[in-house]
Amino acid sequence: MKKRPLDIVVLSDVHLGTVGCHALELLQYLNSIDPKIVILNGDFIDIWNFRKYYWPEAHMMVLRKMLTLMTNGTDIYYLTGNHDEVLRKISSLQLGPLFIRDKLILELNNEKVWIFHGDVFDITMKHSKWIAKLGGKGYEFLILFNRLINRISLKMGRGRISLSKKIKDSVKKAVRFIDDFETTAMELAIDQGYDYVICGHIHQPKIRGYENSKGSVIYMNSGDWIENLTALEYYEGDWNMYKYREEEFINNERLEKMLKTNGMITGMYHS
């Protein structure tokens, strides 16, 4: 497969180290592109929910891929999120092409781009972290249950469904929170003179414009690699939302068999 050249790729909420992470799909995507800059916009490694007994080889292969990208000249900006907030203690660190930051400001085509994870807008992060962690446990159980449902659904000839997405879309409070999150980010970006604001955190991929009496801004969210499997791509002056499609790549079961045959992968969870 010929690799697509890209200027910038933004990934968020990969959550390596959890059962919900689609590491194989992410690896396929990363192997299909040739980016100059990769921005990991928070929660790349889920330190909150990390367990010593769960670290599949596919997750390690994603880290190896990042090292390979850096070796080949790609700059990687790791922006801290709430699930990897421990890295905020070293958020000015640079190791060659690896930069650890809390936020990133870029100027592209004379336009200012503000990039950060977004958990600063989440009151449960700021004041009741234990509630957020408890919610994370329930979310992990829901992901596992969803995978069981999808296995049954596929055997019955039906498509995949996302229970967590359906719940988010149907609960008014969740919909209101997402809208408030986006509005807060956009209005703050306008106040500070940015043309673009890019977040993660809420796992909702989106590109939308916004305007108020003070100005206008483009809001973007790169989504996640738990439910949506999306990324933001910047190339030759344009931003686009990438959505993973399994049919574009080798079948995941075939890929896993190949890796197992080569002794490269153990303890996989299937989606």
pLDDT at 217: 98
User: Of how many residues is the chain composed?
Assistant: 271
Phi, psi of 249 (to 5 degrees): -125, 175
pLDDT at 228: 93
pLDDT at 216: 98
pLDDT at 135: 45
Count the neighbouring beta carbons within 10 Å of the beta carbon of residue 156.
Answer: 7
DSSP letter for each residue of 28-56:
HHHHTEEEEEEEEES-SB-STT-BTTB--
pLDDT at 259: 59
Query: Over the chain (271 residues), what is each successive 10-residue block's mean pLDDT?
Result: 94 93 96 98 89 88 98 97 93 96 97 95 50 48 61 66 57 65 94 97 95 98 95 98 89 58 44 34
pLDDT at 174: 57
pLDDT at 252: 57
Q: How far is CA 135 from the centre of its chain?
A: 18
pLDDT at 197: 98
Say if CB 202 and CB 42 are below 8 A apart: no
Domains in the chain, ordered, with CATH? 4-261 (3.60.21.10)
Count the neighbouring beta carbons within 10 Å of the beta carbon of residue 214.
Answer: 10
- Collapsing DSSP to helix, strand or coil, 110 comes out as coil
Angstrom CA distances, 146 to 4, 155, 162, 164, stand at: 32, 14, 7, 8
Q: In what order do the strands lie in the sheet with 215-221?
A: 103-108, 111-116, 196-199, 215-221, 206-212
Closest CA to 113 of 164, 169, 39, 201: 39
Count the neighbouring beta carbons within 10 Å of the beta carbon of residue 80.
Answer: 25
